[in-house]
Structure 1
Amino acid sequence: MTTTTCNGALTKATPVIELRGVSKFFDNKPILDEADLEIYPGDALAIIGPSGTGKSTILRAIAGLMPIDSGEIYVNGKLRKGLIEESTDPLAISMVFQQAALFDSLTVAENVGFALYQHSQLPPQRIQEIVDYALELVGLPGAGPLMPSELSGGMRKRVSFARAVMHDPDNRNSAPSVVLYDEPTAGLDPIASTVIEDLVRYLQRDVSACSTYVMVSHQESTIRRTGDRILFLYQGKFQWSGSVSELDTTDNPLVRQFLSASVQGPIKVAPARRV
């Protein structure tokens, strides 16, 4: 990716996150196979591909939640060593999980403010003010006292978004520089999906902490409405990259088969068992 300087010259942007030759095995099966990836400032990156090809795995590797078996991960040009609790990454990374992953025994407000309650020196009243603001951002004002069991699926997803953007406004280093979305519209109806997709773009546009993100999704509306740059992951490697508009013009057989939902093509499909 290139950027233009004030004198009109082109210069290569530095990735905020870079994966070099990253591999991950489960039961001796390669899920990621020497995968390379660069994430740039301001990226709205969507990773697509068939189920079981390592999309969620690569998010967890980026987040520092899962060890890799080989390769290197650089964060702002600095080699990461170990997992997130062992490293000193020079930027904060947040993750929105597919199933929201809320603590069922905590209220919405306690879920959203969890990191600040645990790791900041802010007084409880100040944390409550920040929580209230985050809930307003995601369209859930006044939801703080509710329990997760009282929320719909779409509301739970929005609470997880509020939790992902939480930070101490007086400490800019605590603000997430990259947000990782793992299937945030999975299981939602089309209208609820649109609400979540709009929220992703709203947070990118109006909340500086969410200007760079990676979206993993199978849902075509989510891919098209939240992705600017698209990467296709298959057999542990990125097989195609392009803009969202190029999805309709590419002749790449993997992308064409995936978008058409055809069982015929280079993507191997397990046959249905006949009974």
Structure 2
Amino acid sequence: MPEPLIELRGICQSFDGHVVLNDANLTICPGDAVAILGPSGTGKSTILRIIAGLQVPDAGEVYINGKLREGPVDDIEHTIRMSMVFQQAALFDSLTVSENVGFFLFQNSRLPSSRICQLVNEKLEMVGLPGTGDLYPAQLSGGMRKRVSFARAILDDPDDPADDPQILLYDEPTAGLDPIASTVIEELILELQKTSGCETYAIVTHQHSTIRRTGQRLVLFYNGKVQWEGKAEDLDNPTDPYVRQFLSGEIHGPMEIVDHQF
């Protein structure tokens, strides 16, 4: 077994007295395509934020390439580059597509603007959006905005090997999209795993087509921890009661309705 790229041990997280994660464990190895499942409010997005260093857990340990992460993410000496695709794309409305995609390099690299624009155009081509650089987010469909956020996530500085993302984090990338737009995004996720140079990803999703197309390893969270782990083919004849309820959408079962969104 390769050394885990990401390892969460005994993670606990509460918000306003509501326990979201309770002694949760998760391991992601290089090349993994992990789909994080579970009903709303069970801490799936919180897991992504903790992995990315955007959220510091109340308790537990986060290991990156076998090294314990301590303190703010900016202070880590031994770290890896991660990129995150947010559920609502999180684009700047006042910036063009090119400015959104190249934002990090424009702000943090020494590359000339012409070179950054070239790299941006390459990534837009890769996600199927050539010629859209001068448009603004308001001029794009929901699916197009998602793809712009993908282009931003995989953009890196070719002159800086440490800037290459080693894991992509997707938070509900197909939420709110019609079936055809969802298929486009799902196929893009698989294509980027082959062509972007980043083979590892974790994806939070409720959508069954996204789970089956993009999840090679599935983990189902409920009650603050992983209740089940398996593969996409295990969904065909599920024996686990949590999986059966999740797939069927039944109200009655081991999982209760949760109103909180975390």
- Does the aligned pair in 1 maintain the 2:37–2:219 contact within 8 Å? yes
Paired residue for 2:52, among 63, 68, 72?
Answer: 63
Q: 1:237 is aligned with what amino acid?
A: K
Q: Structure 2: give runs of 5+ residues left out of the alignment.
A: none
- Does the 8 A contact of 2:40 with 2:258 survive in 1? no
**Is 2:62 the counterpart of 1:76?**
no
- Three-state SS of the structure 2 residue aligned to 1:94 is strand
Match of 1:213 among 196, 201, 210: 201
- DSSP 3-state at the match of 2:134: coil
Q: Which segment is superposed worse, 79-88 or 60-69?
A: 79-88
The residue that corresponds to 2:175 in the other structure is: 186
* Alignment check: 8 A CA contact 1:66 1:83 kept: no
For 1:98-137, list aligned pairs within 5 A.
98-137=87-126
> What residue is the counterpart of 1:30 in the other structure?
19
Deviations 1:202-251 (A, max 9, x none): 00012212x10001000000000000000000011000000110122331
Paired residue for 1:8? none
1:96-149 C-alpha deviation (Å, 9 max, x unpaired)? 000000011111000000111111111111101100001000000011111111
Q: TM-score, normalised by structure 1?
A: 0.92
Q: Distance in 2 between matches of 1:236 and 1:270?
A: 12
Q: Which residue of 2 aligns with 1:95?
A: 84
The answer to whether the aligner puts 1:150 opposite 2:143 as a matched pair is: no
Query: Which segments of 5 or more consecutive residues in structure 1 lack a partner in the other structure?
Result: 1-11
By how many angstroms is 1:82 displaced?
Answer: 2.3
Further displaced range: 80-89 or 47-56: 80-89
CA distance in 2, matches of 1:170, 1:270: 46
Which one-letter code corresponds to 2:80 in the other structure?
Answer: L
Tell me the amino acid that sits aligned with residue 228 of structure 1.
Q
Query: Could you tell me whether the CA contact under 8 Å between 1:32 and 1:54 is conserved in 2?
Result: yes
Secondary structure (helix, strand or coil) at the match of 1:154 reads: helix
Identity %: 58
Between the aligned partners of 1:270 and 1:158, the Cα distance in structure 2 is 30
Please state whether the residue corresponding to 1:126 is helix, strand or coil.
helix
What does residue range 190-269 of structure 1 map to in structure 2 within 5 Å? Answer: 190-209=179-198, 211-269=199-257
1:170 is aligned to: 159
Deviation at 1:88, TM superposition (A): 3.5
Q: How many angstroms apart in 1 are the aligned matches of 2:137 and 2:10?
A: 40
Contact 1:100–1:156 (CA under 8 A) maintained in structure 2:
yes
Structure 1 distance, partners of 2:73, 2:185, is 27
- Deviation of residue 87 (structure 1)? 2.6
Q: What's the CA shift for 1:89?
A: 4.4
Taking the aligned partners of 2:79 and 2:258, their CA distance within structure 1 comes to 43
Deviations 1:7-36 (A, max 9, x none): xxxxx2110000010111101221010111
Length-normalised TM-score, structure 2: 0.96
Aligned-partner Cα distance in 2 for 1:208–1:118: 23
CA deviation map 1:169-206 (0-9, x unaligned): 22222011000000000000000000000000000012
Partner Cα separation in structure 2 for residue 258 and residue 165 of structure 1 = 32
Runs of 4+ in 1 over 6 A off after TM superposition: none
Q: Which has the higher contact order (CA 8 A, sep 6+)?
A: 2
Amino acid across the alignment from 2:106: Y
Deviations 1:51-87 (A, max 9, x none): 0000000000000001110001010011111233333
> Which has the larger Rg?
1
